[in-house]
Structure 1
């Protein structure tokens, strides 16, 4: 069921109906990354311009720039989950609506969450993801442990957040959380697919839309097995 849902989600990401949202999602992600990159580079440049060591040893600038650039690249890998959470909060309802209409046409459509609520939810998740991934980054010099922590933590966080975002279109947030907890293994396994995509350069930019499409399918499958009272 899960791999079939993943294939359907990938098909949706590249479908004509998703194309407009895809470009908007990629554009917003790139803008956020560019702003973050420029801000951090400015900070490093400011430190270099005001550090006495570079005045005494001018050639050290090149090494510091090289090391800081590598560090920025690694930092971005760990910041991407938080950025995708913010991006997803803007497109969850449009993307989920397309998946529901195309793959579940006989089901009642979901109810979009208010923009403020979805944005706050995205920011909350982004902060939590940032804390967890910075902790994983702190374990950088423990390679195997670092990768395990990064993968497992993001599989859990991404699975939980995207599933509850999808489920909340059909039920109150507390019931969505209860459904997720009751099916925690299935949701975690779906999160593993998202975490795996997150680790692939370039393709990881598709994580928000893939996650939304995937979790619509996962939620539909699980919710057909369990009914909640309104």
Structure 2
């Protein structure tokens, strides 16, 4: 069930009907990440200035090297922080485009079934902000656990697998039921959804490919919800 949903979601990414959603999702994700890059770069520069100002008067001979080293360290730190933001940014994109992705899949793959109801704008924004908060906090915890040898990589997959699986599945389920019913359905199938979330986390861990996470995750959970709902009758 899980692998079949992942296969169907992967095949959906580049089909003609999905391209407009893909370009919008990918474009906005890249724009947000570029904005974060420059914004975080300014923060790093401001934080580094007092340290360099105190260093330069006393060590004029190698202050230039110190500045270069500081810039490299800041660049590495900036890249790590930006990597931390990829999951929350893609989470926001999911809130904006899940209904469009789901519409494409339901029309093409489930033509004989009643289509889902798009979420109202207010609920969609609320869910997106909640998604951003939950995934952001979860990844901060995962980042802290990176400092603990032996569990750092596992922490990334466990945290993101749980959060991404839960939130994307509930998004897909709420097209057909109330938020409370969606949570109950997710709770009854928590193990299946968690392992599906691990596949999404693996997708998220691949550079550049992770920019397509909203499309892949939303599509996968639409299929998985259909399979679970069908199995439950």
Deviation of 1:32 (Å): 0.9
- Residue 84 of structure 2 aligns to a residue whose secondary structure is helix
How many residues are treated as equivalent by the alignment? Answer: 227
Q: Distance in 1 between matches of 2:56 and 2:138?
A: 37
Larger Rg: 2
TM-score when scaled to structure 1?
0.94
Q: Which residue matches 2:191?
A: 185
The answer to whether the 8 Å contact 1:75/1:137 transfers is: no
Residue number among 160, 164, 171 corresponding to 1:158 in the alignment: 164
Deviation of 1:143 (Å): 4.2
Q: Which residue matches 1:2?
A: 2
Q: Which residue matches 2:46?
A: 46
The reply on whether 1:105 has 2:111 as its aligned counterpart is yes
Structure 2, unmatched stretches of 5+, are none
Structure 1, unmatched stretches of 5+, are none
Which residues in structure 2 correspond to 1:1-230 (within 5 Å)?
1-51=1-51, 52-56=53-57, 57=59, 58-59=63-64, 60-226=66-232
Q: Distance in 2 between matches of 1:100 and 1:78?
A: 32
Deviation of 1:224 (Å): 1.4
Q: Distance in 2 between matches of 1:25 and 1:144?
A: 35
Deviation of 1:89 (Å): 0.6
Q: Distance in 1 between matches of 2:222 and 2:229?
A: 10
Question: What whole-Å deviation, never above 9, does each CA across 1:95-119 have from its counterpart, x for those lacking one?
Answer: 1110111111101000000122112
Deviation of 1:53 (Å): 2.9
Deviation of 1:3 (Å): 1.2
Deviation of 1:68 (Å): 1.2
- RMSD of aligned alpha carbons: 1.3
Q: Distance in 1 between matches of 2:173 and 2:107?
A: 15
Q: Distance in 2 between matches of 1:67 and 1:48?
A: 10
The answer to whether the 8 Å contact 1:110/1:169 transfers is: yes
Q: Distance in 1 between matches of 2:178 and 2:13?
A: 27
TM-score when scaled to structure 2?
0.93
Q: Distance in 2 between matches of 1:219 and 1:206?
A: 20
Q: Distance in 2 between matches of 1:32 and 1:137?
A: 21
